[in-house]
Amino acid sequence: MIKPIVIVVGNGMVGYKFCEKLRAKSAEFEIIVFGEEPRRAYDRVHLSEYFAGKTAEDLSMCTATWYAENNITLHLGDPITEIIRSTKTINSQKGIVLKYDYLIMATGSAAFVPNLPGVEKEGVFVYRTIEDLDLMKAWAAKSKSGAIMGGGLLGLEAAKALIDLGIEETHVIEFAPRLMPRQIDSAGSAILQQKLATFGLTVHLNKNTSYIAGDHKIEALKFNDDTELPLDMLVISAGIRPRDELAKLCGLEVGLRGGIVVNQSLQTSDPSIFAIGECALYDQMIYGLIAPGYEMAEVVAANLCNAQKQFNGFDMSTKLKLIGVDVASFGDAFITEPDCRTIIFEDTHKGVYKRINISNDGQQLLGGILIGDAEAYSMLLQTVNNKIVLPPNPEDLILGSRGGATAEGAGVMNLPDEALVCSCEAVTKGDICSAVMEQDITTIDGMKKCTKAGTGCGGCIPMVKDIITGTLKENGKYIKNVICEHFDYSRQELLDLIRINKIKTYDQVLDTFGKGDGCESCKPPIASMLAGLWNEVILKQDTIQDSNDRYLANIQKGGTYSVVPRIPGGEITADKLIVIGQVAKEYNLYTKITGGQRIDLFGAHVMDLPAIWEKLIDAGFESGHAYGKSLRTVKSCVGSTWCRFGLHDSVSFAIEIENRYKGLRSPHKLKGGVSGCVRECAEAQAKDFGLIATEKGWNLYICGNGGSKPQHAQLLATDINEATCIQYLDRFLMFYIKTADTLTRTATWLNKMDGGMSYLKNVIVNDSLGICQSLEEEIAQLIQGYTCEWKEVVDNQNLKKKFNHFVNAPNEKDPSIKFEPLREQKQAAAW
Amino acid sequence: MTQTQWILACNTTDIPENGGACVKINDEQIAVFNFTRRGEWYATQNLCPHKQQMALSRGMIGSAGDACEPKVACPFHKKTFSLLTGECLSGDECAIKTYPVKVLDGEVWLGV
């Protein structure tokens, strides 16, 4: 089958974009491009960067091989000179004759040069192509003063070019009474003019040039108010003129003031010829911006592929950085009272001008102008285009919120999915969100490649960034704390993976989800996850445990260990105290009461640990898990059993809670407290969870801690009974275990949580996530699976063997261990 | 140069899989590591030079970087050392001594 032939006349930005779009949609066309310029399509929007150091290649729209790779024939430096519509044939300057099925006019525009005496003189330039720039560059080398004729958008771009070329004295001549008359108002122009003056630019308004004086080269501009301006060079930037000469020649309909007339499908008066970009005249309008040009390319490409798409005019809102000054204009920038209400902010000190026009009922934003600070542009434009209802104080939109409640609906994430974010490439908010969600795109560069958002004028990039971040945040993906170099997962992700895949060993986890051979950073947290999930005695995989977990004791200075038996709630009998005393005496251990109401025995040789524990276990003690990231103690005051103020039996409740959660492995250590009255002697509000007795029941506090960054626990529920306390604690602890990062205590976990306490309360108390039943079931399993780790060791000869210091001399202690006397006891020798 | 003397240190089963233990050779404490995952054995001094603690045998082993350099982390302050060269990988000047290891018929021999 013969493919239809599409010939593109012109290789500018829009012509290139058309090729890209058509090729992306279909391979069923033969595409042939003729360009007048000697080089591939380049970015004319950022032309002034050519003087700021970018090369022509940097400005190219695509790589040198792109056309070939996409099966597109490109003829450069060979403009089409004739179109014979009757035979659907074109002739090129170099003599190529070709038939077409569809012809796309993308001839763009040329600089408009007014019919002024002297424009032919040397030193007079236009600012349009890289060739123009090269000519200017050569001339500028010997020029001290220069001027731009035209104070519009392009004129100011050209002025930037003159400054970059090192012209000492640069002027802008504008016929109208203000700069950028199509985009900004007089007040904005005044601020802009003032800003530009600081860059060494002199602006002359209301100036009507009568002729260009000079012998054969320019010497001065003469104005009709009889003044003159001596000059070495002049750049004319007085507007654009559509390149419609070829169209005219073949009899296509053109506008009175130029431009190839097109309909909503961008079809010219000949149905097989289309016109796009700055050469097209739609509804009496030439669209001299890049975004509408791209939209036109899209419409034609779509229609050739039989999709129904129409061009319905285009928003001419724009944001630019002109000579370092932000200038933006959006929506209906010029509408005035009484058709609207206007809010204006003007700061001549900093050179900032902001104007917004709002509907008379205060509901809608109609348009506005921003000079000097255009950060709000994208959001304001979205507010106009999506008809978002304004906040009660619309001035906040340009001034920022000044105290009080933040305006609702101000964030990017409140935009509808169909909101157009990148108008150059027609990328919506929804497109960006789904690229983040479905393709894991999280960077601007990635987003440019994936959606093309931000590849045109670049004005939307800050908003694209915000949407990426917002989407990640909304989906809980924002902060990805990978465990270490061996795993590209956060603790929570890895925990889910291990559970779902029912993985039981560290090596299996590493083989399945990691790389390398692991390390001291990933082994302990994974050990903790495995212990938490499958409830197996941690000694089975002891070499992935921290030294403390491996030897079930805390390594201390000098290489000895400390022993902490569990004393739930801090309640202990005389008999048990005596046993602790006897053990301490026998093994010469230093003893001290800990902050958690128990007794720590220091200075034990590793090989003595099993014997020490055998004696303690015989007396009814259990491991205190002081070595693990797990529940330590539940501190209590004596409560109603003895205290004259006590409301409830805080000791009994503390013992019940400590026994319930003992051995529970968690991201970090856990401490609790139970106070029998509001005097709070158990310091429950400084704990990960705390209970304070009230007349009617208990107040439950969560997420506090002492330590280096003390933080008070926050109230979760008031006046609840004991069963409810346990229920909420079950949910809270399991939710924490499942969602917190490694080594994150409950307070930090809450601080990082979006929505904070009110969110957490909703999850635990109101079951907003619908997970409470499974949390309760999961923790019940862990509680049921509790065993005393030291009892396992004491009962197992093989496990005991691991506590020898020398494997080849099992009865010898480490001779390097030294102590020093301390009062009636001893201490570890100094480092 | 003195010739390497090979001394029987222990049985392979004395050293936990993917972990280490300490052996005493001529009053010297040597940490022996059974890197089961890689099928490799390493030996270093047991003393961590950072705070002069006899503790490296109780450290966790693993690998660093794309080249998977085998390493051990001291349980005290997590200083890590290369098991190949003894070089400190935590940016400190101190290095540790390493010893060649041979495994024959379930016995671990160290070259000292």
User: Is the model's pLDDT at A269 over the cut of 90?
Assistant: yes
Q: Which of B19, B37, B68 lies closest to A507 in CB terms? A: B37
Q: How far is CA A161 from the centre of its chain?
A: 33
* Pairwise CB contact (< 8 Å): B22 & A807: yes
Q: Indicate the CATH number for domain A315-407.
A: 3.30.390.30
Give the pLDDT score at A399: 79
* Pairwise CB contact (< 8 Å): B58 & A808: no
Mean pLDDT of chain A: 89
Note whether A542 contacts B: Cβ–Cβ < 8 A.
yes
State mean pLDDT over A307-328. 84
Q: Using pLDDT thresholds of 50, 70 and 90, give the confidence band for residue A409.
A: very low
* Pairwise CB contact (< 8 Å): A485 & B65: yes
Q: Which of B14, B18, B75 lies closest to A555 in CB terms? A: B75
Q: What six digits make up the tokens of B72?
A: 């051990």
Chain A residues with CB under 8 Å of B108 CB are none
Q: Using pLDDT thresholds of 50, 70 and 90, give the confidence band for residue A500.
A: confident
As a whole number of angstroms, the distance between CA A818 and CA A107 comes to 90
Beta strands in A293-445, from DSSP E residues, in sequence order: 318-322, 325-331, 341-347, 352-358, 365-371, 420-422, 427-428
Nearest of A375, A389, A368 to residue A463 by alpha carbon = A375
Q: Which of A199-213, A413-427, A443-457, A466-480 has the highest mean pLDDT?
A: A199-213
Give the pLDDT score at A323: 77
Query: How near does any CA of chain B get to the CA of A805, in Å?
Result: 6
Query: How near does any CA of chain A get to the CA of B101, in Å?
Result: 16
Chain A residues with CB under 8 Å of B9 CB are 808
Choose which CATH entry (3.30.160.270, 3.30.565.10, 3.50.50.60, 3.40.50.300) describes domain A113-238. Answer: 3.50.50.60
Note whether A807 contacts B: Cβ–Cβ < 8 A.
yes
State mean pLDDT over A679-688. 94
What are the angstrom distances between the C-alpha of A623 and each of A342, A563, A586? 73, 9, 19
Give the pLDDT score at A454: 82
Note whether A605 contacts B: Cβ–Cβ < 8 A.
no
Note whether A518 contacts B: Cβ–Cβ < 8 A.
yes
Q: Which of A516, A523, A807 lies closest to B15 in CB terms? A: A807
Beta strands at A209-213 and A233-236: parallel, antiparallel or unpaired? unpaired
Chain A residues with CB under 8 Å of B58 CB are 547, 550-551, 555
Q: How many CB pairs under 8 A join A and B?
A: 96
Is the sign of the CA dihedral A261, A263, A266, A267 positive or negative?
negative
- Domain A5-110+242-304 and domain A315-407 have a common topology: no
pLDDT tens-place string over residues A695-746: 999 999 999 988 777 899 999 999 999 999 999 999 999 999 988 887 889 9
Give the pLDDT score at A248: 94
Q: Which of B35, B52, B64 lies closest to A519 in CB terms? A: B64
With CA atoms as reference, the chain A residue closest to B76 would be: A555
Chain A residues with CB under 8 Å of B64 CB are 485, 519
Q: Which of A523, A802, A831 lies closest to B51 in CB terms? A: A831
Give the pLDDT score at A405: 39
What are the angstrom distances between the C-alpha of A662 and each of A398, A675, A683, A781, A792? 56, 19, 20, 13, 16
User: Is the model's pLDDT at A480 over the cut of 80?
Assistant: no
Chain A residues with CB under 8 Å of B47 CB are 816
A79 φ/ψ sector (left φ>0, alpha ψ -120 to 50, else beta):
beta
Give the pLDDT score at B41: 95
Give the pLDDT score at A403: 47
Give the pLDDT score at A404: 43
pTM of the model: 0.51
Residue A187's φ and ψ, nearest 5 degrees, are -65, -40
* Pairwise CB contact (< 8 Å): A543 & B17: yes
* Residue from B18, B32, B81 to probe the interface with A (highest A Cβ count within 10 Å): B18
**Over the range A280-311, which residues count as b (16 or more CB within 10 Å of their CB) and which as e?**
bbbeeebbbbbbbbbbbbbbbbbbbeeeebeb
Give the pLDDT score at A394: 83
Note whether A831 contacts B: Cβ–Cβ < 8 A.
yes
Residue with tokens 């499974």: A774
* Pairwise CB contact (< 8 Å): A807 & B23: yes
Note whether A829 contacts B: Cβ–Cβ < 8 A.
no
Q: Which helix (H) or strand (E) holds A830?
A: none
Q: A819, A827 in Cβ contact below 8 A? A: yes
| Annotated domain spans of chain A | 5-110+242-304, 113-238, 315-407, 554-784
Was domain A554-784 assigned CATH 3.40.50.300? Answer: no
User: Please, which residues have CB within 8 angstroms of residue A773's CB and are 6 or more apart in sequence?
Assistant: none
Give the pLDDT score at A481: 62
Query: How near does any CA of chain B get to the CA of A587, in Å?
Result: 21
* Pairwise CB contact (< 8 Å): B37 & A517: yes
ipTM for this prediction? 0.89
User: Is the model's pLDDT at A654 over the cut of 90?
Assistant: yes
Chain B residues with CB under 8 Å of A516 CB are 62-63, 68
Q: Using pLDDT thresholds of 50, 70 and 90, give the confidence band for residue A361.
A: confident
Query: Helix, strand or coil for residue A108?
Result: coil
The interface residues of chain A toward chain B in range 454-513, judged by CB-CB distance below 8 A, are: 485-486, 507, 510
Q: Which of A519, A542, A547 lies closest to B16 in CB terms? A: A542
* Residue from B25, B27, B47, B58 to probe the interface with A (highest A Cβ count within 10 Å): B58
What is the arrangement of strands in the sheet containing B98-99, beginning at the earlier edge strand?
A: B19-25, B28-35, B40-45, B98-99
Residue A320's φ and ψ, nearest 5 degrees, are -140, 160
Interface of B with A (CB under 8 A): 9-10, 14-24, 29, 32, 35, 37-38, 47, 51-55, 58-65, 68, 70-71, 73, 75-76, 78, 80
With CA atoms as reference, the chain B residue closest to A507 would be: B37
Cross-strand pairs, B10? B108
Q: A24, A53 in Cβ contact below 8 A? A: no
User: Is the model's pLDDT at A31 over the cut of 60?
Assistant: yes
What is the arrangement of strands in the sheet containing A97-99, beginning at the earlier edge strand?
A: A80-84, A89-92, A97-99
* Pairwise CB contact (< 8 Å): A547 & B54: no
Query: How near does any CA of chain A get to the CA of B105, in Å?
Result: 17
pLDDT tens-place string over residues A795-805: 988 888 888 88
Higher pLDDT, A19 or A239: A19
Q: Which of A486, A559, A805 lies closest to B53 in CB terms? A: A559
* 3-state per-residue secondary structure call for A31-69: EEEECCCCCCCECCCCHHHHCCCCCHHHHECCCCCHHHH
With CA atoms as reference, the chain B residue closest to A511 would be: B37
* Pairwise CB contact (< 8 Å): A516 & B9: no
* Pairwise CB contact (< 8 Å): A520 & B78: yes
Chain A residues with CB under 8 Å of B37 CB are 507, 510, 517-518
User: Please, which residues have CB within 8 angstroms of residue A629's CB and are 6 or more apart in sequence?
Assistant: A524, A528, A665, A666, A667, A668, A669, A743
State mean pLDDT over A661-686. 93
Q: B83, exposed or middle or buried, with CB in 10 Å at 0-12, 13-18, 19+? A: buried
* Pairwise CB contact (< 8 Å): B62 & A812: no
- Percent of chain A scoring above 90 in pLDDT: 50
pLDDT tens-place string over residues A777-820: 999 988 988 889 899 889 988 888 888 889 888 888 888 888 98
Give the pLDDT score at A536: 65
User: Please, which residues have CB within 8 angstroms of residue A646's CB and are 6 or more apart in sequence?
Assistant: A637, A638, A639, A640, A676, A677, A693
State mean pLDDT over A305-311. 89
Note whether A543 contacts B: Cβ–Cβ < 8 A.
yes
Q: What six digits make up the tokens of A769?
A: 């996530």
Beta strands at A714-720 and A819-822: parallel, antiparallel or unpaired? unpaired
Q: Which of B54, B61, B73 lies closest to A816 in CB terms? A: B54
Was domain B16-104 assigned CATH 2.102.10.10? Answer: yes
Chain B residues with CB under 8 Å of A548 CB are 75
Radius of gyration, alpha carbons of chain B = 13
Chain A residues with CB under 8 Å of B71 CB are 519
Q: Using pLDDT thresholds of 50, 70 and 90, give the confidence band for residue A407.
A: very low
* 3-state per-residue secondary structure call for chain B: CCCCCEEEEEEHHHCCCCEEEEEEECCEEEEEEEECCCCEEEEEECEECCCCEECHHHCEEEEECCCCEEEEECCCCCCEEECCCCEECCCCCCECCEECEEEECCEEEEEC
What single DSSP character describes residue A286? Answer: E
Q: A603, A556 in Cβ contact below 8 A? A: yes
With CA atoms as reference, the chain A residue closest to B59 would be: A547
User: Please, which residues have CB within 8 angstroms of residue B37's CB and are 6 or more apart in sequence?
Assistant: A507, A510, A517, A518, B18
Query: Helix, strand or coil for residue A397?
Result: helix
Give the pLDDT score at A665: 87
Fold observed for domain A5-110+242-304:
FAD/NAD(P)-binding domain (3.50.50)
